[in-house]
């Protein structure tokens, strides 16, 4: 085993990537993880944990980790791992992560990522130049900000530290912000029964027989009604956390309900210890409009739920890629995304909205004419995000090249 995979937050897209890499590399890798709980503590303490638990081996040549891990700390605590070729994958950007409510940003998490950024030979963000996506190619290019403001954002962050003058980062910022590293987009898994041509056909739910075989309540509710009679079905497949802005999504839905427009909603995605109050409030207010509410542990059930839906909505305030949105499109959903963050790099302009009012108007029209989205053929591309397209690229990146100093 020449590849050491380390994931300090083994859940969601972090788990998805590591599982795919483990399947690709098979016996040529070893995977070390921590559960997907309390990411704040994982970011602070994972290096000490893995220092003690990662088995020593003379066979390691490459270390692949996500940026939840403070790689600089681990390399210092385990010199044997510090000598390896290192690949660091950024699932998110702690320098731009939305602060909840009005609390002060915790300096430590962004600082951890800055330190880790200097360590590996390869830094991967969710989207970079390999697929012609440039704006998020640098993990520290803040979403929605012009490139020339990156150093300013880092400088503002450093001022939050009373020791910023001694940190050495004031001089390091320009190189940190402007360096471009080749990377790969996040992998996408999708139902095995859907290939690209089938994904286009599945935009019409009446033609997808597999959609009748759900293990929860969707099929019973929708059975016996044709495409014209069935209300619009909206899916929201995101983490139940503040950075996904569930408040905006539910406000729009409740406005649709106030106007007595017919629709159904499936609220998917994983919830953690702290769940925003809006979820319980919205579930009660939406009442019979709710088809499914909650996380689906089975990937098959999850994909089937997406195949049942007509429209998938994102209201995210922070997004490096958006695996759930691409998966939903692959399952036949019509996407509606903010005209911000990474979305304009993935989705054509007709699937973007600029304000909550625009989102409301789009959904209002679809509620009145659900056949519009059911007959629609998606005009973008999803094939390049499949693991079939990306697996070989990751394997090449993780090719075990002996180091001269080992």
Q: Return per-residue pLDDT of the chain as tens, 406 residues.
A: 799 999 999 988 899 999 999 999 989 999 999 999 887 888 888 998 999 999 999 999 999 999 999 999 999 999 999 999 999 998 877 666 666 655 555 656 666 666 666 555 555 655 443 343 444 333 333 333 333 444 454 455 445 444 344 333 333 333 333 222 223 333 444 443 343 333 333 333 323 333 333 334 444 445 445 566 799 999 999 999 988 999 999 999 999 999 999 999 999 998 888 899 999 999 999 999 999 999 998 999 999 999 999 999 999 998 878 899 999 999 999 999 999 988 999 999 999 999 999 999 999 999 999 999 999 999 998 888 888 888 888 888 888 564 444 3
**264 burial type by CB count under 10 A (0-12 exposed, 13-18 middle, 19+ buried):** buried
pTM of the model: 0.66
What share of residues in the chain are helix, strand, coil (percent, to 5)?
Answer: 45, 15, 40
For 55, 198, 267, 289, 328, the CA distances from 295, given in Å and listed in that order, are 34, 26, 8, 18, 15
Q: Give how far the C-alpha of residue 87 lies from the chain's centroid of Cα atoms, to the nearest Å.
A: 19
For the beta sheet containing 290-293, the strands, ordered from the edge strand earlier in sequence to the opposite edge, are: 290-293, 263-268, 232-237, 311-313, 334-338, 352-353
What is the radius of gyration, based on Cα positions, of the chain? 22
**From CA 153, how far away is CA 176, in angstroms rounded?**
12
* Residue 362 main-chain phi, psi, to 5 deg: -65, -45
**From CA 113, how far away is CA 110, in angstroms rounded?**
5
């Amino acid at each position: 085993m020449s590849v050491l995979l380390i994931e300090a937050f083994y859940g969601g897209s972090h788990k998805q990537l590591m599982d795919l890499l483990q399947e690709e590399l098979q016996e040529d890798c070893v995977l070390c993880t921590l559960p997907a709980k309390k990411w704040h503590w994982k970011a602070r303490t994972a290096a000490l944990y893995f220092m003690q638990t990662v088995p020593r081996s003379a066979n390691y040549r490459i270390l692949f980790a996500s940026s939840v891990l403070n790689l600089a700390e681990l390399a210092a605590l385990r010199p044997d791992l510090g000598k390896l070729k290192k690949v660091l994958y950024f699932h998110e950007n702690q320098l731009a992560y939305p602060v909840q409510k009005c609390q002060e940003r915790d300096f430590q998490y962004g600082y951890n990522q800055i330190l880790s950024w200097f360590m590996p030979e390869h830094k991967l963000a969710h989207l970079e130049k390999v697929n012609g996506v440039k704006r998020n190619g640098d993990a520290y290019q803040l979403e929605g900000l012009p490139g020339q403001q990156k150093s300013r954002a880092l400088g503002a962050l450093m001022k939050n530290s009373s020791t910023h003058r001694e940190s050495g980062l004031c001089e390091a910022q320009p190189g940190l912000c402007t360096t471009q590293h080749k990377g790969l987009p996040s992998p996408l898994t999708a139902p095995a029964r859907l290939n690209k041509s089938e994904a286009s056909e599945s935009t019409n739910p009446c033609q997808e027989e597999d959609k009748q075989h759900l293990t929860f309540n969707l099929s019973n509710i929708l059975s016996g009604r044709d495409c014209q009679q069935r209300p619009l079905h909206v899916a929201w497949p995101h983490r139940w956390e503040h950075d996904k802005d569930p408040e905006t999504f539910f406000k729009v839905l409740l406005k649709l309900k106030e106007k007595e427009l017919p629709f159904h909603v499936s609220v998917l995605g994983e919830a953690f210890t702290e769940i925003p109050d809006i979820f319980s409030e919205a579930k009660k207010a939406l009442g019979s409009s709710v088809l499914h509410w909650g996380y689906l542990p089975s990937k098959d059930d999850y994909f089937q739920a997406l195949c049942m839906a007509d429209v998938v909505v994102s209201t995210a305030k922070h997004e490096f890629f958006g695996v759930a949105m691409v998966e939903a499109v692959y399952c036949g959903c019509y996407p509606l995304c903010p005209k911000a963050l990474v979305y304009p790099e993935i989705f054509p302009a007709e699937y973007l909205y600029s304000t909550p009012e625009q989102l409301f108007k789009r959904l209002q029209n679809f509620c009145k004419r659900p056949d519009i989205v059911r007959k629609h053929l998606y005009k973008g591309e999803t094939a390049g995000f499949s693991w079939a397209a990306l697996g070989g690229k990751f394997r090449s990146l993780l090719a075990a090249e002996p180091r001269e100093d080992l």
